[in-house]
């Protein structure tokens, strides 16, 4: 017993998979009952790029195993075409909280693709989707983030959406946000959290 080294190492381990890796073969493996087979199929399909985007999108919405979903999300981040982005946005409406949060994390890493969609997301009829959109803005390194947040706190009727936006403005806001923040207090005079959050944001922006 002790430290050991295998003598025949040329490759560390032979590839253990024996199934077909052409496009159709990989697509059919997405229905395999073993999550590991599905995960490897996703990783191989990812190398087909845009061609695999639709099929991976469909799989993401149906996939129950977290490890397979994670592989799909990484692939979509890699492919980053309109189909992939549209599917990720669609996940924001999912009842599955894990999928929703996973999609938000990926969207945060696609600033150029997501920025043009932000305006629509921030005007979505579903308040939760608008909150998720503000969450995405949090790390979306994009020059228009502050403008978009100002628009939210000036126009959005939902107090929770505005509160989320104010929290973010406290971190990224500049002097430009001050008038809109002050006006927000007038829009929600009965909401103590808004009054508190706005005061905090004003203090941080003016102090920093």
CB 175 within 8 A of CB 147: no
Distance CA 178, CA 121 (A): 24
- In whole angstroms, how close is the CB of 96 to another protein at the nearest point? 8
Sketch the per residue contact string, 104 through 143, with another protein: x for CB under 8 A, - otherwise: -----x----------------------------------
Nearest residue to 205 (alpha-carbon basis) of 164, 162, 168, 175: 175
Under 8 Å CB-to-CB from 91, ≥6 apart: which residues? 60, 61, 99, 100, 102, 103
Pick 85 or 197: Cβ nearer another protein: 85
Task: Confirm or reject binding of residue 98 to another protein (CB under 8 A).
Answer: yes
Pick 85 or 194: Cβ nearer another protein: 85
CB 205 within 8 A of CB 178: yes
Structure tokens at 122: 């921030």
Structure tokens at 169: 């403005």
Nearest residue to 105 (alpha-carbon basis) of 118, 120, 92: 92
Pick 96 or 176: Cβ nearer another protein: 96
CB 74 within 8 A of CB 110: no
Pick 139 or 158: Cβ nearer another protein: 139
Instruction: Name which of residues 33 to 62 contact another protein (CB under 8 A).
Output: 35, 39-40, 43, 47
Sketch the per residue contact string, 10 through 29, with another protein: x for CB under 8 A, - otherwise: -xxxxxx-------------
- In whole angstroms, how close is the CB of 74 to another protein at the nearest point? 5
Pick 35 or 127: Cβ nearer another protein: 35
Q: Which residues bind another protein (CB under 8 A)?
A: 1-6, 9, 11-16, 35, 39-40, 43, 47, 64-67, 70-71, 73-74, 77-78, 98, 102, 109
């Amino acid at each position: 017993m002790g430290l050991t080294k295998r003598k025949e190492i040329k490759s560390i381990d032979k590839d253990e998979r024996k199934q077909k890796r052409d496009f159709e073969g990989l697509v059919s493996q997405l229905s395999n009952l073993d999550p590991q087979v599905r995960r490897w199929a996703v990783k191989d399909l990812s190398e087909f790029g845009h061609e695999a985007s639709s099929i991976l999108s469909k799989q993401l919405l149906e996939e129950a195993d977290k490890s397979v979903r994670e592989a799909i999300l990484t692939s979509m981040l890699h492919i980053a075409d309109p189909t992939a982005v549209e599917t990720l946005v669609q996940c924001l409406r999912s009842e599955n909280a894990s999928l929703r949060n996973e999609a938000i994390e990926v969207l945060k890493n696609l600033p150029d693709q997501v920025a043009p969609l932000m305006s629509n997301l921030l005007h979505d009829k579903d308040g939760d989707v608008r909150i998720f959109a503000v969450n995405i803005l949090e790390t979306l390194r994009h020059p228009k983030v502050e403008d978009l947040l100002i628009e939210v706190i000036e126009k959005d009727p939902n107090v929770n959406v505005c509160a989320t936006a104010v929290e973010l403005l406290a971190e990224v806001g500049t002097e430009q946000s001050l008038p809109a923040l002050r006006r927000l207090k007038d829009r929600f005079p009965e909401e103590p959290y808004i009054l508190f959050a706005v005061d905090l944001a004003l203090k941080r922006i003016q102090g920093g």
